[in-house]
Amino acid sequence: MSEIYLDYNATTPCDPRVVEKMLPFFNQVYGNPSNNLHRQGRMAAKAVDYARQQVADLIGAHPGEIFFTSGATESNNLAIFGVVNRVPGVVRKRIVTCVVEHKSVLLPCKKLKESGFEITLLGVDAEGRVRLEEAEAAVDDKTLLVTIQAANNELGTLQPIAEIAEIAHQRGALVHTDAAQLIGKLPVSVEALGIDLLSVSAHKLYGPKGVGAIYIRGGKNNIPIESLMLGGGQESGLRSGTTNVPAIVGFGEACQIAKGLVSEEMVRITSLRFQLEQTLIKEIHNIRINGKNAPRLPNTSSLTFPGIDADALLLNLPDVMMGTGSACTSGAIEPSHVLQAIGLSRDDASSTIRASLGRFTTEADIRDVCNLIADVSDKLRRQ
């Protein structure tokens, strides 16, 4: 049997069309876009500008609001530290975030707490969703920044970002969202979200690894952000370092493809997830689907198998690629902080796998993986 890849929330394979678009920029158009004195540099700069437009088009932004980074982790750090450092002696000293955020948000906030900032961690309900009344109580006139993920990487839960942004803006706070899991899976409009800052990563939407972007509403002049990386002043002085033209070109192409396919893929993948969940519920006793009652990503299914160790389950499925938590914490001994935040016991958290479907998932994949999981779970329960 060939491999079945159901770990698209960890990373996606590069779409072949993306790879094809990138190839000329390794050895044919190889100039540094910072040098406009020769043709190679100008062609590279033109390609970067075009990619910037493609990224902007996917989220309904202006290209002047898009700044390239190495990925969502850097963008998250830039949003948080960049806002904090932009004004010496900042008066607002509170940052509001959420217990189920990615570590690239939680750890910068932890660092800021050590330097005197007040960090408020919003809890979530049993579906992994922020309670608006809790957000409203937490955000006040001392709040500098509210940073809440758009969609959770483990549960797929969608957060009420537009409503949270409205609450924050009423108190004069800026709003950032980590949208790495959202972009490319559902249609996105930055205007509808109402946010000031947004992070995105190319490798989550069939683009190359090592490139992403931060959206800044109105551009850097509207919301000044302090750079974390000094040097040649690339990306309007926000992110120094030689521009990674091939990766940026691939990122742009991935965004253009996603824009054309997102609605169609949303319907198809939702149907496949329904097939996966309903088959497993029918075949396996006592299985639970986490976050099923909240709005969620069409591709994500968090499945708890009480009494079965998730690592053992996956080790007995060598041709099936799934996760037991977010990719960035899969090597950790501790159970997922996200699963514990929604009320799962340590044992149940350790009995949970994440299936995340994608562009290249087929009905045959779902049929095969359901049969395999049913067989292996039955074997493990009888041991």
Question: Judging by DSSP bridges, how do beta strands 300-304 and 352-356 pair with one another?
Answer: antiparallel
Which residues are catalytic, by number?
328
Between the alpha carbon of residue 274 and those of residues 20, 105, 205, 339, the distances in Å are 33, 31, 22, 21
Which of 1-5, 118-122, 228-232 shows the highest mean pLDDT? 118-122
* Gap between the Cα atoms of 11 and 327, Å rounded: 8
Neighbours of 75 (CB within 10 A): 29
Percentage above 70 pLDDT, the chain: 97
User: Is residue 332 pLDDT above 60, yes or no?
Assistant: no
| pLDDT score of 334 | 78
| pLDDT score of 86 | 85
List of domains in the chain: 4-11+262-382 (3.90.1150.10), 16-256 (3.40.640.10)
Question: Are 355 and 276 spatial neighbours (Cβ–Cβ below 8 Å)?
Answer: yes
User: Could you tell me which residues come within 8 angstroms of residue 164 by beta carbon, excluding any fewer than 6 positions away?
Assistant: 130, 132, 135, 146, 148, 175
Query: Cα-flanking dihedrals φ and ψ of residue 92, to 5°?
Result: -75, 120
Question: Are 7 and 327 spatial neighbours (Cβ–Cβ below 8 Å)?
Answer: yes
| pLDDT score of 327 | 45
User: Is residue 249 pLDDT above 90, yes or no?
Assistant: yes
Tokens 């562009």 label which residue?
A: 359
| pLDDT score of 282 | 96
| pLDDT score of 92 | 87
| pLDDT score of 324 | 86
Question: Are 308 and 18 spatial neighbours (Cβ–Cβ below 8 Å)?
Answer: no
User: Is residue 331 pLDDT above 80, yes or no?
Assistant: no
Joined tokens for residue 298: 């069409």
Question: Are 49 and 59 spatial neighbours (Cβ–Cβ below 8 Å)?
Answer: no
Joined tokens for residue 213: 């972007």
Mean pLDDT for 318-336 is 73
Question: Are 215 and 197 spatial neighbours (Cβ–Cβ below 8 Å)?
Answer: yes
Quick: pLDDT tens for 263-294.
999 999 999 999 999 999 999 989 999 999 99
Tokens 């302090």 label which residue?
A: 226
Mean pLDDT for 204-218 is 99
For the question of whether the overall pTM of this predicted structure is more than 0.75, the answer is yes
Quick: pLDDT tens for 356-372.
999 999 999 999 999 99
Mean pLDDT for 342-347 is 94
Joined tokens for residue 93: 């000293």
Tokens 């976050």 label which residue?
A: 291
Joined tokens for residue 353: 């796998």
Indicate the range of 68-72, 335-339, 352-356 predicted with least confidence.
335-339
| pLDDT score of 325 | 57
* Gap between the Cα atoms of 185 and 269, Å rounded: 9
| pLDDT score of 1 | 65
**For residue 236, is it left (φ>0), alpha (ψ between -120 and 50) or beta?**
left
Percentage above 90 pLDDT, the chain: 93
User: Is residue 225 pLDDT above 50, yes or no?
Assistant: yes
Tokens 């497993």 label which residue?
A: 280
User: Is residue 330 pLDDT above 70, yes or no?
Assistant: no
| pLDDT score of 326 | 43
Residue closest to 5 by CA, chosen among 378, 369, 289: 369
Mean pLDDT for 199-211 is 99
Joined tokens for residue 128: 């992994």
